[in-house]
Amino acid sequence: MSHVFNNADERVRFLKFATVGAIGTVVDFGVYNILNLLFGLAPVFSQAISFALAVINNFWWNRHWTYPESRGKAVHHQMAQFGLINVVGLLIRTPTIAGLENPIEDLAVRFGVGAEAANVVGHNLALALAIGIVMLWNYFANRYWTYNDIDER
């Protein structure tokens, strides 16, 4: 795994993957907060929908920008692999968020943050931590399965 970062091309791919992930994070947070705060949808449902939209966004950008050499694979096959990896990511992410939201909210209240603001802080900080964990899973799983047809130079 460490040899990935010893290769200049792989470091560039990782940075592109991380950039795509950052864009996906904006999509994720934006949709999550619109659904949760504006429409009152429960956080668990808001994050599942925002996650799905971010995955579609990330697949498109990774296929066309991060790994353009990999477009020889059929798009439906590659999307299925990418999607499966992200479903595993969702299985990591959902209990992570559920387990962190309340303790973060309680901590925010202890630091003097009002209850409503602490609720928003708890939701968003839990989401941010889960995204960081899942990003590492996604990068390595996708690099060695979805985009395994690209040679490490």
Which sequence spans correspond to the domains of the chain? 2-146
pTM for the model stands at 0.73
pLDDT digits (tens, 9 = 90+) for 86-96: 999 989 988 99
Burial group, residue 42, by CB count within 10 angstroms (0-12, 13-18, 19+): exposed
3-class DSSP state of 134: helix
Q: How confident is the model at residue 63 (pLDDT cuts 50, 70, 90)?
A: very high
Q: Within 10 Å of residue 114's Cβ, how many Cβ atoms?
A: 11
Check pLDDT > 80 for residue 3.
Answer: no
Higher pLDDT, 152 or 13: 13
Q: Which residues contact 97 (CB under 8 A, 6 or more apart)?
A: 43, 44, 47, 123, 126, 127, 130
